[in-house]
Chains A and B, each alone.
Chain A
């Protein structure tokens, strides 16, 4: 029994001490590794064809794994507010090559790629390329036309092409009727509150992904804010015409009988009048941060 007991006692000593050492070492190794490669999210195999060849018959499965990586990658970066999304395209490229019928990859992929930071990678050109590839592989799936129109409409501001995309999609018998209406409306009016609202509302209603849903909701709320502010500004102009001065606060408009009550933003905070005399979000409103972020990146982008 002697040697067995010795080993058992030794184990009681070795395990806690050893794991203590492992804990310490692992922290050191982590710091060391972090310092040698700050941007360590490498895609080892950047060639989609090579990946596909190596995937053998499991290519679709591999595509799913890559797609998970895309979502993880985007999610992690998004959470940390990092704008560097340069690996998004190679990952999406590989994913859709491995499984050309993975429609979700085109749809959400475009949504990650197209919008300016911080919402996306700011590469609407690549988004268009991705969706067009998706359309080629899945010609029957009309939602991809919607997405294409979406990118042209919001990010490229090319209303002719957006209209053409909606029209093309509407030819699909399964497509919802509004596609045709949208095609005409966008061609005639360009960007408008109703169109934008409708498009985001459709995204909001048609997705199950909570991240996308939240994003669409934020956009809708900000659109509403923008529209509200525009209306309040118009009323302020009316106020100026009547009283010869800009209103100092929103309640001035109410007292003048131009509005009933104090209007509130979608998060429930009252609008205020800013220094330049224009209506804007309350400083306490959670939407303010979103709005500032959107504007800052829009300015930074050429």
Chain B
């Protein structure tokens, strides 16, 4: 576990040195532009617009980082052969994998926290004060982070057994499917055979459900999210990541390097 920590910290250092956090500048500019524009164009719904825009930007930027860096985490080390010297050290492959995952999640946490802070500042500027109902925005940010952790885990799994390009496609595909699994369940039942219907229902519960983490609409309107949902989503992410990372470790531990 301690060795995984060493890998994690180095992964974080890599992200910082590779200027990943520069995306924050983009986010800052976007939020400044939005806060100026929102006063001009949308009277009465400033809060809604700022929150939806801010959370959307946090989510999109986070997703880009998770997918691309998540896939690169292991494949880049194999490609550049930086992994060879490392695996000769007393470190197990799953420890390396866990460390890589932890490092990117750490990076995303820092990055997302910085963006959340920016969003709060803009809200402060637009509304001239923050109220208790604004904590829902933080819950929204937390849910985005949970979602990103799950995306990283999936990207890591795919990159363990296929090429980076395919891994990106699989991850993005599964993410999009994961947004609509709810719809899968709501499909009009009479258009399908019972077997088909049972299958889609079964599938809709087992595929990662990214819609779980979407509280953007509630956050935008300042409606509170119950604590139970926060707990359930946290557990959901923990369990799902455990499954995916165990699978990734099983694949990666048997993989022949070039």
Contact = CB atoms under 8 A, between A and B. Distances in A.
Interface stretch (B63-71, B81-89, B127-135, B243-251): B243-251
B204 to A, nearest CB: 8
Given A4-B253, A4-B254, A22-B205, A75 B92 contact: no
A37 interface: yes
B188 A75 contact: yes
Interface in B213-258: 216-218, 223, 225-226, 228-229, 232-233, 235-236, 239-240, 242-243, 246-247, 249-250, 253-254
Given A4-B254, A7-B94, A33-B229, A25 B218 contact: no
Contact of B217 (A7, A23, A44): A44
Interface residues of B, number: 32
Mostly, the A contact residues are helix
Nearest to B208: A22
A29 B181 CA distance: 14
A11 interface: yes
Nearest to B253: A4
Mostly, the B contact residues are helix
Interface stretch (A13-21, A192-200, A217-225): A13-21
B186 A14 contact: no
Nearest to B240: A22
A102 to B, nearest CB: 22
Interface of A: 3-4, 7-8, 10-11, 14-15, 18-19, 21-23, 25-29, 32-33, 35-37, 40, 42, 44, 75-76, 79
Closest 6 CB pairs of A and B: A18-B243, A4-B253, A14-B246, A21-B239, A11-B250, A32-B229
Interface of B: 52, 92-94, 186, 188, 205-206, 209, 212, 216-218, 223, 225-226, 228-229, 232-233, 235-236, 239-240, 242-243, 246-247, 249-250, 253-254
Given A3-B253, A4-B254, A40-B217, 9 more contacts: A10-B246, A10-B250, A15-B243, A22-B205, A26-B236, A28-B228, A29-B209, A33-B229, A36-B223
